[in-house]
Structure 1
Amino acid sequence: MSEEWITGKNPVLETLKSGRSVNKVLVLESMKQQVQQQIIQAAKQQQVNVQKVPKQKLDAIGDHHQGVAASVAAYDYASLDDLFAVAESRQEAPFFILLDQLEDPHNLGSIMRTADAVGAHGIVIPKRRSVQLTQTVAKSSTGAIEHIPVARVTNMNQAIEELKDRQVWVVGTDASATEDYRQSSYDMPIALVVGSEGQGMSRLVAKNCDWFVKLPMKGHVTSLNASVSASILMYEVLRKREQVGD
């Protein structure tokens, strides 16, 4: 398994808290003492070696490192069974996010962040024509990558068929849909499909959806960023599943 670097204070702290295997942590030798000690203490609790290094060393790893970087093994992907196991452990109806050909790592990171916030049980991405789990995604997720499992499948349509066989309803988004996203019920096992930034979901994936919802567009723009659309839908699922105060 290849090595990856996580950079930035919060992503590194979240990585250490998650219990993930960390090889070492590098901190800027001239970093403010209070911040430096916070990183060192978190690493010490996980028995991870910390090295104080000059800025040039961190600059060679990547931009925007904020004076800290952690060397970790490349990210492991989950399986669909793993995602179902998360839902079962919480005694909740499965709630998955399917990303069809999403290419922007910042969008994936943002979606992971929201998915973790709403308590989704996992994300599914295809192996081909899709962004994968990278350091950029990790940084954009601000640590959520350590908490939300991501399953990588060879064929998204086959994965959808498997989800359907396991009583999961698959909901797509389409501007031409007749049903407003606020009209749907989401208390059953559900998988939300979010398409690519430019083309939306593929024809075959759309064909396999059980139904479609749309986000009303009252202004002049005709579409929203993929991560924004996904966040709106995910919070609607949470709103329908949980009463305020639960």
Structure 2
Amino acid sequence: MTKSRWPGGGQDTPRTPAPAPGRDSPWGARARPNPEPPRAAAPRPDARADDVAAAGEAEDRREMRLYGRNAIDAVFARRPEAIRKLYLLEARIPQLQPLLKWCAANRVGYRVVAEDDLRKLASSAHHEGVVADVLREAPQSLGTWLQSLPAGPACALWLDGVGNPHNLGAILRSAAHFGVSAVLLPKTSPLALSGAAARVAEGGAEAVPFVRLGREDNALAQLRSAGFKLAATVVRGGDDVFAAELPERLVFVLGAEGEGMDAELVKACDLRLCIPGSGKVESLNVSAATAVLLAQWSARLR
């Protein structure tokens, strides 16, 4: 029998057994080799993993599928109520005891599945033994974010056309490391957090809020009224970031991978910065460039 705990489940949903000696575990006997995880939209003991994976986007658009230990641990630490379903390998049971107990206490469905099924659920081999369906956190408005921002130094990232989920994840990881206050998304940007981005971010996605901008001219005016200067990051023709005087309140504006930044947005910025190099390649990847820029801004504050 596949080990599971689904709220209101059928007769094959086992009761949580007493923990084994020396291990505080809510699980009982071993899982059978070919478990059949439930559909994402409506958990059922007989639903197949490929049905769940085929669903892709949950019927409830507010849900997203996360995978990877650090990504899921970060959600559990900050907003556990967002977790809706959990799938894991049996080998992960000892490491996930607090999460499993929380699921049992709050009637959140969880199930032990086989490696092949977990790979299908995550649509990735890099699941690290655990997959979760969680509620998305809606972006804040720029006004709301600025009102809640404390006085003093602050840095934000304006992503103009960045779309690769792995680049987004790496940007979020660097942003969390250097204490970035927010990621700013243009009004029409389709960019959103994905499972792949969250895994690459290694927990950073929960540490840096998304802020949805309104009209570009209004956003620029609001940011400047709050004491921010905007720095366009350019490949050539900008000031050397290692020599430039960086303000305490700064928004780095980063362009798309390939096309670069919108020319009008570059003109509207207060600063134009570049990262000098050997010239053997044209420029750094946008996520690598972000790490360099944030490290330099952070160093200027010391």
Query: Which range, TM-score by smaller chain?
Result: 0.7 to 0.9
Q: Residue type of the partner of 1:149?
A: P
Q: Which structure dedicates a bigger proportion of its chain to helix?
A: 1
Match of 1:9 in 2: 69
Cα 1:172/1:192, change in 2 over 3 Å: same
Structure 2 counterpart of 1:42, from 77, 85, 99: 99
Match of 2:113 in 1: 54
Runs of at least 4 residues off by over 6 Å: none
Query: Does the residue aligned with 1:183 lie in a helix, a strand or coil?
Result: coil
Pairing 1:24–2:85 present:
yes
Measured on the aligned residues, the alpha-carbon RMSD in Å equals 2.1
Cα 1:155/1:44, change in 2 over 3 Å: farther
Q: CA deviation at 1:234?
A: 0.6
User: Is the 1:100–1:156 Cα contact (8 Å) retained in structure 2?
Assistant: no
Q: Residue type of the partner of 2:223?
A: L
Pairing 1:75–2:137 present:
yes
Q: CA deviation at 1:199?
A: 1.5
Query: Does the residue aligned with 2:176 lie in a helix, a strand or coil?
Result: helix
Match of 1:180 in 2: 240
Match of 2:219 in 1: 159
Match of 2:268 in 1: 208
TM-score (norm 2): 0.71
User: Is the 2:65–2:131 Cα contact (8 Å) retained in structure 1?
Assistant: yes
CA distance in 1, matches of 2:185, 2:164: 13
Alignment of 1:131-170 (within 5 A): 131-170=191-230
Give the percent of matched residue pairs that are identical in Structure 1 and Structure 2.
24
How many residue pairs align between the two structures?
A: 236
What per-residue deviation string (whole Å, max 9, x for no partner) do you get for residues 163-185 of structure 1? Answer: 12322100111233352101222
User: Is the 1:86–1:121 Cα contact (8 Å) retained in structure 2?
Assistant: no
User: Is the 1:43–1:50 Cα contact (8 Å) retained in structure 2?
Assistant: no
What per-residue deviation string (whole Å, max 9, x for no partner) do you get for residues 108-156 of structure 1? Answer: 1111111111011111012435532222221221111111101122444
TM-score (norm 1): 0.86
Cα 1:60/1:176, change in 2 over 3 Å: closer
CA distance in 1, matches of 2:280, 2:262: 25
Gaps of 5+ in 2: 1-60
State which structure, 1 or 2, has the greater radius of gyration over its C-alpha atoms.
Answer: 2
